[in-house]
Structure 1
Amino acid sequence: MTTLRQRLTRALDARARGNTALGPYHVTVDRDLRVPMDDGVELLGDLYRPLGADPALPTVVIRGPYGRRGIIGGAARALAYEGFPVFFQSSRGTWGSGGRFTPQIDEQRDGIATHRWVRRQPWFTGRLATFGESYMGYTQWAVAGKMCREDPDIAPEALILQITMPDFGEITWDNGAFALRNALGWSNLMDRMGRGPRGLITIPFADRQLHKAFDVLPLSAGDTAAVGHPIHWYQDWVRHERLTDEYWTRQSHTESVSDVTAPVLMVTGWYDIFTPWQLRTYRRLVEAGNPPRLTIGPWGHLSRGKAGPAHRDSVAFLKEVFAGTPSGRAAPVRAYQTGARQWHDLEVWPPAGSAARDWLLHTGGGLATAAGPAGVTRYTYDPADPTPAVGGPSLTPQTLPMDNAAHERRPDVAVFRSEPFGAPLDIAGEPLAAIRIRSSAPSFDVFVRLTDVHPDGRSVTVCDGIRRIGSIGSAATDPPPDDDGFRVVEVALWPAFHRFAAGHRIGVQVSSGAHPRYARNPGTGEPADTAATIRAARQEISHEGPHASHIILPVWTP
């Protein structure tokens, strides 16, 4: 007999998944089980047990730093309703677990110790899968490749990786630019969590103090401005600009992705903060001979629309892998095409039929496949009035495409547009911009955004990307200037699967910032953690010669 509270919890869990019908099992919870780590620290976890479930189904392990109950615990409960025992553990130094929380650093050793412990428990079903999104996906990457390679008998036998990646350094310093809104916003959230429920009274990403802190220089003062004291990992992040520093390499698990031999399901969205890297890890697994199931929807990191499809895909995947129940999936990849607003079943991503096509940026704002008149486009970037971010992937709910029409009237944004199309144009893959640019400042950013320009004048985001030049972190990969001081800066844009409808136009923006999504470039080339002096930059985009500025679009013919 279920209690009123249990029925209410189930109803809320179903509602959080778009009113998805959840499984039939009643669930009991064993709270605060203690798991000893190799250094003697004990981590706490909760065991969700479905009553009367098929014992052949796997035990699912979830590990993360965001707590285990309430909304966060909903993922564990939802799987348990379907018949899967779930062990949900809090990372070191969070929510009652012992030790000190240092993001990423301890997840591999703690995860491996937890896997060994779970397999020794009397409630273990004999098979083990891992599950989770965002940081709870990173904890899966931390152990999977190493265990598959070195200890395959106790390695996870399936992984469900949602909106995540195996190397958080790459997103923190995105092509040399510091992802300020996410890094400081997340640090603010975790600091508040560490202070208990009282610290979460205000919504951390809507905190006025946080928004003021985004404008503070140097970057190393941002955490104190936001929460009143330094946050030790945030200080580490701003101090280590080079992704080759041992600080970052010891927490990167990208190289072990190809060692994962267990079946994998990936779920992501076109507007998620991890999408480029998640699709690159997908590609690594494909090339290693272990192609994952992949779902890509019209979602951001916190989109509510993702929860229902992700839950259904996860349950079907686990039952197919462990019970032999056909999932009913038509193809390994299921991807939503924006613009066309339709789903496609594909054998692989990017799909067959994609071919690169150059579109040249013309003097005067044109965009075409043929060369235009020679010349340059000029604008000035002033870090005292930094070019603002308009939408874009973030850890806030507001990540869906936005209209850029007003933004494109700013004098520090160069805009280029094609003629209207007589027939639809589809792209599928990762666009690449090659901007031939010269700057008066020692260090500058190149931010490129692709838009869909509607007949009514709206210029709606499709995808974008950034690259920093002249910084400590970018020095090893900066393209050299030519005799005229121009550099050809290649900027990889977010992956996209989009249709430009008939009558629409392609739009391309080039600017030098998107603050506070990315920290403004002070322009001096000084270390990011201490740079407080700012310098305006006069930028010139070249439209002439064999390396004239252009964008390469992956045009898809279905």
Structure 2
Amino acid sequence: MLSKVQQQAAPLVDADRNRRYHIDTKVLITTSEGIELSAIVVRSKSRSEPLPAVLSASIYADEAANLQHAITAAARGYVGVMSDSRGKRFSRARITPYENETKDVTAVIDWLSRQPWCDGRVAMYGGSYLGYTQWAAAKNLPKALKTIVPAAAAIPGQGLPMENNIFLNANYAWPFFVSNGRYDDNQAYRTHNDNEVNQRWYQSGRAYRDFDQIAGQANPWLQKWLQHPAFDSYWQSMVPTAAEYKNLHIPVLSLTGYYDDGQISALQYVRDHQRYNPTAEHYLVIGPYDHFGAQHGSNDVLLREYPLDKVAHLDVLALTFSWFDYVLKGQPKPALLKDKVNYQLMDDNSWQHAPSLAALASAPQRFYFAAKTTQGEYGLTTTKPTYDEAAKTAVIATQRIDFKDRSQSYNQHYYPWPLLQPAFVPENGLLLQTEPLLEAMELAGTFSASLLLRLNKKDVDLGLTLFEVTPEGRYFNLSYLLGRASFAKDPGQRQLLQPGKPQRVVLQRSRMIGKKIAKGSRLLLLANVNLNAFAQINYGTGGDVSAESIADAGEALKLEWLAGSYIELPLRPLAQSGSALHP
């Protein structure tokens, strides 16, 4: 019934649009390389003077959705523009996800700035891949680009297709979706039954580079990306360098969520920009949003079955265009932006503010791994152990894992869905708990781990998941971290471990959370080896992980978690919330 009504209303909608706007859906822009890129341009008929252009650059060729996106900007006093990646819609070039956006989006911006209906200024917004294309443009920083608002922005090589150098299966079908034709292939995800293919690959024991063979269709982009397991020059060429961040002085508003699958990437942009350009006008808004909510906002009462605070409801579109009005029209800055980092403190019904991500991490509480108590629990204690160097290598716990045995999986509980769940006993891994908190606390920021390990392999993939154990005994998923030990020091350079020797592995790129931790709650860390059907398997030989198979498993992994290990948490009394973190 609804579809029939929409079909009947379509001519009326089109007539109203044509009455209000100049609409051109077949714009062609030629780059200096001779590549043609297609675009949609929408201008209000009520405005005759040149206006700033608001651009979104997308690889997703959904003409109806993209037209509405451009109209949204035109309705708010700007020229609305949606440009397509090379190879999409009317472009006849080869489709190349990520690789050419830096020069192509720059070419679009330069073209826009020269049009008679543009006043020479261009702003950008959009999420996920459309967040990435903004940073791709910022790398070249064309003169006309005046501000960007990236939401849930991807970093190729640091969020997808791999996270902390571990290739993930989650977006396996994505290259088919965007590159099977000039328009999006909506059958791509339906064709690939993710869970079924994941399990077949896991049980087969075959190398990760055979994943597409098991799925039944060659995936050239997967094979190309697997040739770059480090964050090497291939990936680095697509995002700003340290020098480019230093010279990036345009205002930036970044948006992401605690449960945004792209948060790792989104925060890396913020962290790097603030690191290399400390005076940059770069604001961050982050709260209890997933990948969709971080891009489009949310009025939902629940997130993954958990009730949200009233103040968490965020109109992302209104915030975005208020920001554009601030930068381009001299209007007041959006009221929410009281400092450079603005985060919604879950269960406190408040927004808190800090001058930088570094400020949130400036005074973490350190929790040391402790041996089992008389109750049989491993501990996390703030009391620094009084041991000598030899005692630091005392064994807290030992894991033995036979990689040839696929009857079990490891690190199964890290993904936060639902957010709050009944207490569970994991099938494997190391559970460490704090004592109950004596007062309510604020946990705001990312956690890190400094692990002292001894193992009989040259490498290992690890998973760390942080929970709040409520006074009622339920588990709230706060944050998690996946990491490859050999890339812990430098994601661009692999450094293998020395079998049989204690060595420190520092993992830092976890997910940010902002939450009030109730009095009487405990904090629980689940530490484990990452061995399951959802990601590449590291057999620890020191060779190319994508080429390793069950034939390389060798002797069972023996992993010793040693007494010198600890985690650092951005935990502070509520009275010392982010708004009090100014130097």
TM-score, normalising length: structure 2:
0.80
Post-superposition offset of 1:180:
2.9
The equivalent of 2:560 in structure 1 is: 540
The equivalent of 2:218 in structure 1 is: 230
Worse overlay, 259-268 or 49-58:
49-58
Worse overlay, 373-382 or 533-542:
373-382
Partner SS for 2:507: strand
Establish whether residue 87 from structure 1 lines up as the match of residue 81 from structure 2: yes
Worse overlay, 87-96 or 352-361:
352-361
The equivalent of 2:543 in structure 1 is: 526
* Cα gap change, 1:195 to 1:96, in 2 (>3 Å): closer
Q: Which amino acid counterpart does residue 529 of structure 1 have in structure 2?
A: S
Distance 1:475 1:322 in 2: 38
Partner SS for 2:229: coil
* Cα gap change, 1:477 to 1:223, in 2 (>3 Å): closer
Q: Which amino acid counterpart does residue 540 of structure 1 have in structure 2?
A: E
Query: In the alignment, is the contact (CA less than 8 A) between 1:390 and 1:402 conserved in 2?
Result: no
Equivalenced residue count is 523
Distance 1:358 1:241 in 2: 32
Post-superposition offset of 1:238:
1.0
The equivalent of 1:513 in structure 2 is: 530
Worse overlay, 103-112 or 284-293:
284-293
Partner SS for 1:266: strand
* Cα gap change, 1:455 to 1:259, in 2 (>3 Å): same
* Cα gap change, 1:283 to 1:195, in 2 (>3 Å): closer
* Cα gap change, 1:405 to 1:97, in 2 (>3 Å): farther
Query: In the alignment, is the contact (CA less than 8 A) between 1:102 and 1:233 conserved in 2?
Result: no
Query: In the alignment, is the contact (CA less than 8 A) between 2:446 and 2:570 conserved in 1?
Result: yes
Q: Deviations over 1:446-494 (max 9, x none)?
A: 2111111112322221111122135899794548659x62221111122
Query: In the alignment, is the contact (CA less than 8 A) between 1:340 and 1:499 conserved in 2?
Result: yes
Distance 1:73 1:204 in 2: 28
Distance 1:449 1:252 in 2: 29
Let me know the Cα RMSD of the aligned residues: 3.3
The equivalent of 1:468 in structure 2 is: 484
Post-superposition offset of 1:376:
2.2
Partner SS for 2:297: helix
Query: In the alignment, is the contact (CA less than 8 A) between 2:250 and 2:281 conserved in 1?
Result: no
Structure 1: runs of 5 or more not aligned: 12-22, 149-153, 393-397
Q: Which amino acid counterpart does residue 29 of structure 2 have in structure 1?
A: V
Q: Which amino acid counterpart does residue 501 of structure 1 have in structure 2?
A: A
Q: Which amino acid counterpart does residue 253 of structure 1 have in structure 2?
A: P
Establish whether residue 189 from structure 1 lines up as the match of residue 177 from structure 2: yes
Worse overlay, 422-431 or 214-223:
214-223
Which of 358, 362, 367 is matched with 1:359 structurally? 367
The equivalent of 2:383 in structure 1 is: 370
Share of identical aligned residues, percent?
Answer: 21
Partner SS for 1:313: helix
The equivalent of 2:309 in structure 1 is: none
Distance 1:467 1:146 in 2: 31
Distance 1:459 1:353 in 2: 24
The 5-angstrom pairing of residues 322-341 of structure 1 reads 322-330=328-336, 331-332=338-339, 333-341=341-349
Distance 1:389 1:155 in 2: 47
The 5-angstrom pairing of residues 264-283 of structure 1 reads 264-283=252-271
The equivalent of 1:18 in structure 2 is: none
The 5-angstrom pairing of residues 241-252 of structure 1 reads 241-244=229-232, 246-252=233-239
Which of 435, 443, 452 is matched with 2:468 structurally? 452
Distance 2:61 2:193 in 1: 21
Distance 2:176 2:452 in 1: 38
Q: Deviations over 1:297-320 (max 9, x none)?
A: 211212386265221111100111
Establish whether residue 298 from structure 1 lines up as the match of residue 262 from structure 2: no
The 5-angstrom pairing of residues 107-506 of structure 1 reads 107-147=101-141, 154-169=143-158, 171-182=160-171, 184-191=172-179, 194=181, 199-200=186-187, 203=190, 207=194, 210-212=197-199, 215=202, 217-226=206-215, 228-244=216-232, 246-255=233-242, 256-287=244-275, 288=277, 289-303=279-293, 306=297, 309-330=315-336, 331-332=338-339, 333-349=341-357, 351=359, 355-364=363-372, 365-371=378-384, 375-383=395-403, 384=406, 385-390=408-413, 392=415, 401=419, 403=421, 405-406=423-424, 408-411=425-428, 413-470=429-486, 476=493, 478=495, 481=498, 485-492=501-508, 493-506=510-523
Partner SS for 2:250: coil
Q: Deviations over 1:506-526 (max 9, x none)?
A: 001110116444322233333
Distance 1:108 1:229 in 2: 30
Q: Deviations over 1:505-556 (max 9, x none)?
A: 000111011644432223333312322235241211112xxxx111111223
Structure 2: runs of 5 or more not aligned: 1-7, 299-313, 373-377, 388-393, 578-583
